[in-house]
């Protein structure tokens, strides 16, 4: 973890609403996030917590009914270059300089991410020629190399095939090849393995990790799967109801979680060995058509204090890398212990990790 | 692909044979006879029926008719234009109906596609709302209302165009029928195009392509139009069939000597062979159109072409 690396992406106070059926939904309520060059960052949270929206805003591909109320997304395309506010950049500039060229995104469902009426060769060529003035022939040669790189056999023959002729895992490899076609510096993986068979998930993760090392990519994973996070990420941001409620290194968040929501998430990881009933966080996330009073998580939080229902907690500092937004960290708060089952779990994870290293 | 086409072709032939058979059964059930001249005595009618072979059982007539059809003989007219071969009657009228139908189709499709894509690209904005209001009116108001309105104002009040069809100036006298028929085509196609294009623009693959910085031009032609055109072509073909076969009412209003006009007259006087031949023609056009569509699906959409090859 290179703490001294320069800041590549910095999201400050991002605030986004959606208009749907005549109502405004306040989906992103002040997101702050920092990514340093070369790092791997994970954004974790339930569906609808605003993970994908945050990253789509950075690429300028929000749907038409979204409105950005406030905030900035500062991005350095090249090491040492001046940061640019992506929210203020023109759509054309974003298309020419950012999308696919500097930041690329891999979407959740490989079955629907590819154009069904275009050969995968042509889709790769279109992606390459979107940013580079090369001949079709040259682009085709590069496409073949890319397919080889992501582990597609017989790439020349495969180039002429259509998406429906590939399995889900193969399609996700192709999506990754397209995403990497113009050598981006930042790869955003939006639930890259969620739609795949369990047996394929591992291989796709391995592929992304190996490509990341080979191409020195910075990667942001958007996921609800803490298992994925544990394997790949340096830093974790836990998101709830449009806010980041805990952030830290992977060790901070997995071994010393402070927010009751993070406790719930960690307790809810399936553990085949324990044989216990799977824990699930009670209740459902709030509908953000009206502002939650106090902490958005309070109604589901068994440890909620009185103040949680009145005032939103600020980010409390736990250590230099570790912050969490819960009143439990206030010095006036009563001392609350993590549930014992979770502490046992953390001890077990530490032990397993130690064995893994050995 | 060859096997796929052969299969579709065989299905089409079977469908047509079935249709002729059902037509024969229905004609049998129709009340009255082609020989309605009040001057005819019952004995004379009897003799006519026997001489035309109409006293034979249905099945026998069916196979007889099929045999003649294969030789290109569709029978003669019994009452409309006595003893004239049906084909002769149709031959002079079909081009008129088809000419007007195809023109209405071309005008309507071009306008409909333009309006549909325009509305889709400005979804929710003023242009979209206006386009959709126009299309709702065009779909809900029957085309003969436009025909009557056009002939009243443009033909009668302002006297810009001939009121009735004149075979000496087919182009000028086709303008009003074509316009009144194309309104519906335009409206239906605009609606389908808009909905399909919007669905495609929201799809994951367009989102992914956008995230790759693919240019709007490529997005439009290789992603949006290509993936939304399938549905639209289906609708177009079915509309075209309706137009080719002539519009019964519109042909009456402008007194166009087309097959729609011929069919409505033939039905009223029980001219069996004319009704059967025209009904068969409509069915055949429809079946051929479906066949054409199936083959086109195969060409445009690789998933159909390679059906069953999923890996």
The mean pLDDT values, 10 residues at a time, for chain B of 311 residues are: 83 90 84 76 82 81 86 84 86 87 92 93 89 92 86 84 79 86 92 93 92 90 88 84 74 84 85 88 87 80 56 33
* Chain B residues near any Cβ of chain A (below 8 Å): 123-124, 202-205, 207-215, 218, 222-223, 226-227, 300-303, 306, 309-311
pLDDT(A179) > 90: yes
Count other C-beta atoms under 10 Å from residue B132's C-beta.
17
Candidates 3.40.50.1820, 3.10.100.10, 1.10.3720.10, 1.10.10.60; correct CATH number of B86-305?
A: 1.10.3720.10
pLDDT band at A1 (very low <50, low <70, confident <90, very high): very low
pLDDT(A234) > 90: yes
ipTM topping 0.90: no
B291, B101 Cβ separation under 8 angstroms: no
Tokens of A260: 């009751």
A353 or B19, higher pLDDT: B19
Collect all residues of chain B within an 8 Å Cβ-Cβ radius of residue A171. none
pLDDT band at A74 (very low <50, low <70, confident <90, very high): very high
Contact B207 A104 (CB under 8 A): no
How many angstroms separate the CA atoms of B245 and B260, rounded? 7
Contact B311 A113 (CB under 8 A): no
Residue B311: what pLDDT?
A: 33
Q: Which helix (H) or strand (E) holds A26?
A: strand A23-36
Pair type for strands A84-85 and A186-190? unpaired
Please tell me the distance in Å from B217's CA to the nearest CA on chain A.
Answer: 11
Query: In chain A, what are the helix, strand and coil shares in percent, each to the nearest 5?
Result: 35, 20, 40
pLDDT(A117) > 80: yes
CB-closest option in B209, B210, B303 to A116: B303
Return the domain boundaries, chain B: 86-305
pLDDT band at A4 (very low <50, low <70, confident <90, very high): low
Residue A358: what pLDDT?
A: 58
Residue B300: what pLDDT?
A: 72
**End-to-end distance of chain B based on CA atoms, in angstroms?**
18
Please tell me the distance in Å from A348's CA to the nearest CA on chain B.
Answer: 40
Give the 3-state secondary structure of residue A234: coil
Pair type for strands A316-317 and A103-106? unpaired
Burial class (CB in 10 A: 0-12, 13-18, 19+), B190: buried
Please tell me the distance in Å from B201's CA to the nearest CA on chain A.
Answer: 10
Contact A179 B212 (CB under 8 A): yes
How many angstroms separate the CA atoms of A54 and A87, rounded? 12
Residue A51: what pLDDT?
A: 87
A107, B204 Cβ separation under 8 angstroms: yes
Q: Name which of A88, A28, A29, A24 is nearest A53 in CA terms.
A: A28
Residue B66: what pLDDT?
A: 87
CB-closest option in B124, B205, B306 to A115: B205
Residue A276: what pLDDT?
A: 67
Residue A174: what pLDDT?
A: 96
How many angstroms separate the CA atoms of B311 and B84, rounded? 59
CB-closest option in B215, B223, B309 to A130: B215
**A10-43 residue pLDDT tens:** 999 999 999 888 888 998 999 999 999 999 999 9
B20, B277 Cβ separation under 8 angstroms: no
Give the best residue of B125, B205, B215, B218 to mutate against chain A (max A CB count within 10 A): B205
pLDDT(A263) > 70: yes
Collect all residues of chain A within an 8 Å Cβ-Cβ radius of residue B123. 64
Please give the backbone phi and psi of residue A118, each rounded to the nearest 5 degrees, phi first.
-130, 140
Pair type for strands A218-223 and A186-190? parallel
Contact B302 A164 (CB under 8 A): yes
pLDDT(A2) > 50: no
Contact A162 B204 (CB under 8 A): no
pLDDT(A348) > 90: no
Residues forming a β-bridge with A239: A244
Collect all residues of chain A within an 8 Å Cβ-Cβ radius of residue B124. 64
A322 or A46, higher pLDDT: A322
How many angstroms separate the CA atoms of A106 and A191, rounded? 8
Distances (CA, A) of A47 to A43, A44, A79, A242, A296: 12, 10, 34, 11, 15
Residue B245: what pLDDT?
A: 65
A199 or A150, higher pLDDT: A150
For chains A and B, count residue pairs whose Cβ atoms are closer than 8 Å: 91
Closest residue of chain B to A166, computed from CA coordinates: B311
Average pLDDT over every residue of A108-135:
92
Contact A162 B306 (CB under 8 A): yes
Radius of gyration, CA atoms only, chain B: 24
CATH class of A1-102+184-358: alpha beta
CB-closest option in B212, B303, B309 to A99: B212
């Amino acid at each position: 973890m290179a703490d001294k690396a320069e800041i590549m992406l910095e999201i400050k106070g991002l605030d986004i609403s959606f208009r749907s059926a005549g109502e405004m939904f306040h989906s992103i309520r002040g997101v702050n996030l920092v990514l340093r060059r070369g790092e791997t960052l994970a954004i974790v949270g339930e569906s609808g917590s605003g993970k994908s929206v945050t990253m789509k805003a950075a690429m300028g591909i929000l749907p038409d009914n979204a409105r950005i109320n406030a905030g900035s997304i500062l991005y350095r395309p090249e090491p040492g270059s001046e940061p640019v506010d992506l929210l203020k950049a023109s759509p054309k500039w974003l298309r020419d300089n950012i999308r696919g060229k500097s930041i690329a995104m891999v979407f959740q469902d490989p079955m629907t991410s590819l154009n069904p009426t275009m050969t995968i060769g042509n889709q790769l060529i279109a992606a390459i020629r979107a940013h580079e003035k090369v001949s079709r022939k040259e682009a085709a040669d590069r496409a073949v190399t890319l397919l080889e790189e992501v582990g597609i056999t017989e790439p020349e023959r495969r180039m002429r095939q259509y998406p429906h002729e590939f399995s889900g895992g193969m399609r996700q490899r192709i999506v990754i090849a397209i995403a990497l076609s113009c050598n981006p510096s930042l790869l955003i993986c939006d639930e890259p393995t969620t739609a795949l068979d369990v047996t394929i998930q591992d291989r796709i993760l391995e592929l992304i990790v190996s490509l990341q090392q080979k191409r020195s990519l910075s990667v942001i994973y958007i996921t609800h799967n803490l298992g994925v996070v544990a394997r790949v990420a340096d830093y974790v941001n836990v998101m709830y109801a449009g806010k980041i409620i805990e952030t830290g290194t992977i060790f901070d968040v997995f071994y010393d979680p402070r927010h009751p929501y993070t406790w719930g998430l960690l307790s809810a990881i399936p553990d085949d060995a324990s044989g216990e009933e799977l824990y699930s966080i009670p209740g459902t996330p709030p509908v953000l058509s009206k502002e939650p009073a106090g902490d958005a998580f309070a109604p589901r939080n068994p440890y909620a204090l009185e103040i949680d229902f009145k005032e939103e907690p600020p980010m409390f500092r736990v250590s230099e890398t570790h912050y969490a937004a819960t009143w439990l960290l206030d010095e006036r708060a009563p001392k609350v212990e993590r549930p014992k089952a979770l502490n046992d779990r953390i001890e077990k994870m530490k032990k397993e990790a130690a064995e893994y290293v050995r | 692909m060859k096997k796929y086409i052969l299969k579709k072709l065989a299905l089409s032939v079977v469908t047509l044979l079935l249709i002729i058979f059902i037509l024969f059964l229905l004609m049998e059930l129709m009340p009255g006879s082609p020989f309605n001249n009040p001057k005819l005595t019952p004995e004379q009618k009897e003799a006519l029926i026997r001489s035309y072979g109409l006293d034979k059982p249905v099945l026998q007539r069916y196979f007889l008719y099929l045999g003649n059809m294969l030789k290109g003989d569709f029978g003669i007219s019994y009452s409309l234009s006595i003893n004239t071969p049906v084909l002769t009657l149709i031959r002079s009228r079909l081009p008129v109906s088809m000419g007007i139908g195809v023109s209405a189709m071309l005008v309507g499709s071009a306008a409909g596609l333009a309006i549909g894509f325009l509305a889709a690209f400005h979804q929710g904005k003023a242009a979209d709302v206006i386009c959709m209001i126009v299309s709702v009116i065009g779909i809900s108001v029957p085309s003969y209302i436009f025909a009557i309105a056009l002939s009243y104002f443009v033909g009668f009040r302002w006297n810009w165009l001939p009121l009735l069809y004149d075979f000496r100036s087919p182009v000028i006298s086709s303008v009003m029928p074509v316009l009144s028929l194309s309104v519906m085509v335009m409206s239906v196609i605009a609606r389908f195009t808009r909905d399909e294009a919007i669905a495609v623009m929201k799809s994951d693959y367009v989102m992914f392509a956008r995230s790759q910085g693919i240019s709007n031009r490529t997005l439009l032609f290789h992603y949006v139009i290509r993936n939304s055109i399938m549905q639209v072509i289906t609708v177009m073909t079915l509309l075209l069939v309706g137009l080719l076969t002539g519009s019964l009412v519109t042909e009456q209003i402008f007194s166009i000597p087309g097959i729609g006009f011929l069919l409505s007259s033939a039905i009223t006087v029980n001219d069996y062979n004319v009704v059967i031949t025209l009904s068969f023609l409509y069915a055949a056009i429809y079946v051929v159109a479906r066949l054409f569509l199936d083959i086109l699906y195969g060409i445009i959409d690789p998933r159909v072409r390679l059906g069953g090859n999923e890996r």
